[in-house]
Amino acid sequence: MRFDVKVEVRPRAGIADPEGATVGKALRALGFEGVGDSTTVHVGKLIEFDLEAPDVPTARDRVDAMCHTLLTNPVIEDYSFEVIPADSGSGD
Amino acid sequence: MAPLIGVVEFPGTNCERDVAHVLEILGGRAEILWHGESSVKGADAIVIPGGFAHGDYLRAGAIARFSPVMTAVAEFARGGGPVLGICNGFQVLTEAGLLPGALHKNSGLRFLCQEVALEVVGTDNIIGSRLEPGRVLHIPINHFEGSYVCSHDTLRNITESGQIVLRYVDNPNGSVGSIAAVANIEGNVVGMMPHPERASDVLLGSTDGIDVLGSLIDCLAGDTEPTPVDQGH
């Protein structure tokens, strides 16, 4: 099976995120209302790739191992990911 | 024979010649160690110099830690071999798990290139023999991701066990505890954000870096045959 994988990496909760804080300030300075205080704004990264794997659990295990090994640094980052079968929902 | 120091070069490293030059002034023999090497080639110490290893893609040091030479460097470090990481080299050592913590974007989101004042904290490590706690060193920094980060538990542990090597007198980048350099618990692995090789000649405005790199040479001189160490100039 082929999967579309999307890994979201974000600054770990409690770690200073100067980039997020600056973006939050800029949004408020531009007059966008309702944006939470600067501690709620975070800038992370999105890592996308195709993955060939026999089934969903195997694909998830592989992606989790990739996150641990290379894609994230647990001291400063948290992550979550989606593993979407590439041929699902072909009628949509 | 003078001690041999392997100076690691990854694609994107750019301080290896400066570091090698200063180590040779200090009486060592420096050999550039390409990242594709599978051994440390008999080196008595390893320095991982600054730069942008593998373009700093993904995170600074994240790709470099998987370069073949790093397996050999990790084994050398675990066997007690002296390993010093400078700037990008510090980032590589934290990513490799050889030092606690991580280096994050500077709190002011600015690339900092300036001389800073550093207080010597712990000297029970490979760069401590010519330093005394409380002494203030003037050495340049040159980084965007130099804000030292670690958990509360790690901070307590490294503080209690004397692993904090240098602190910024005036914290320029938001580092936890103003930490500019840390050691592992054994003291044979040290990472520092400031560049001692850039403070090694009166022409550069400071010679304090000589005492940092000179300490590394001193601890090797003890391991091999006694080597007269030039105080540098």
Contact B174 A70 (CB under 8 A): no
pLDDT in tens, B14-44: 999 999 999 999 999 999 999 999 999 999 9
* Exposed/middle/buried for residue A31 (C-beta within 10 Å: 0-12, 13-18, 19+): exposed
A21: in domain: yes
Residue found under tokens 């066990």: B161
The beta strands (E) that lie in chain B are given as: 4-9, 29-34, 45-48, 83-86, 102-104, 112-120, 136-143, 147-149, 164-168, 179-183, 189-192
pLDDT in tens, A32-52: 989 888 788 999 999 999 999
B57 touches A at CB < 8 Å: no
Q: Quick one: pLDDT at residue A89?
A: 53
A92: in domain: no
How high is the ipTM of this complex? 0.83
**Confidence class for position B221, pLDDT limits 50, 70, 90:** confident
The DSSP secondary-structure symbol of A68 reads I
The CATH number of the domain holding residue A71 is 3.30.1280.10
Mean pLDDT of B208-230: 77
User: Above pLDDT 90, what percent of chain B?
Assistant: 94
Q: Quick one: pLDDT at residue A39?
A: 80
Q: Which residues of B are catalytic?
A: 87, 195, 197
A90: in domain: no
- Which stretches of chain A drop beneath a pLDDT of 50? 90-92
A49: in domain: yes
Question: Would you mind telling me the total number of residues written for chain B in this entry?
Answer: 233
pLDDT in tens, B100-121: 999 999 999 999 999 999 999 9
Residues of A in contact with B62 (CB under 8 A): 70, 73
Q: Quick one: pLDDT at residue B45?
A: 98
pLDDT in tens, B141-153: 999 999 999 999 9
Mean pLDDT of B113-134: 98
User: Residue A76 is part of which domain span?
Assistant: 2-31+38-85
B59 touches A at CB < 8 Å: yes
If you measure CA to CA, which chain A residue comes closest to B150?
A75
Contact B170, B195 (CB under 8 A): no
A23 touches B at CB < 8 Å: no
Contact A73 B102 (CB under 8 A): yes
CATH superfamily ID and name for B4-221: Class I glutamine amidotransferase (GATase) domain (3.40.50.880)
A13 touches B at CB < 8 Å: no
Residues of B in contact with A75 (CB under 8 A): 94, 101-102, 149-151
Residues of A in contact with B153 (CB under 8 A): none
Helices (H), chain B: 16-25, 68-78, 88-95, 152-160, 208-221
Q: Quick one: pLDDT at residue A90?
A: 47
Residues of B in contact with A19 (CB under 8 A): 105, 109
Is the per-residue pLDDT at B232 higher than 80? no
A73: in domain: yes
Contact A16 B147 (CB under 8 A): yes
Residue A12, C-beta contacts closer than 8 angstroms, at least 6 positions apart: A74, A75, A76, A77, A78
List Cα–Cα distances, B121 to A22, B103, B140, B178, B183, in angstroms: 33, 19, 18, 11, 11
How many domains are there within chain A?
Answer: 1
Is the per-residue pLDDT at B98 higher than 70? yes
Contact A18 B151 (CB under 8 A): no
**Confidence class for position B222, pLDDT limits 50, 70, 90:** low
Is the per-residue pLDDT at B84 higher than 60? yes
> Distance between CA B89 and CA B172 in Å, rounded?
19
Is the per-residue pLDDT at B230 higher than 60? no
A53: in domain: yes
List Cα–Cα distances, A69 to A63, A66, A73, A74, B143, in angstroms: 10, 5, 8, 10, 25
> Distance between CA A41 and CA B118 in Å, rounded?
33
A26 touches B at CB < 8 Å: no
pLDDT in tens, B154-177: 999 999 999 999 999 999 999 999
For residue B128, give the nearest of B198, B228, B205, B217 by alpha carbon.
Answer: B217
Regarding predicted confidence, which is higher, A34 or B194? B194
Residues of B in contact with A15 (CB under 8 A): 104, 149
Mean pLDDT of B197-221: 95
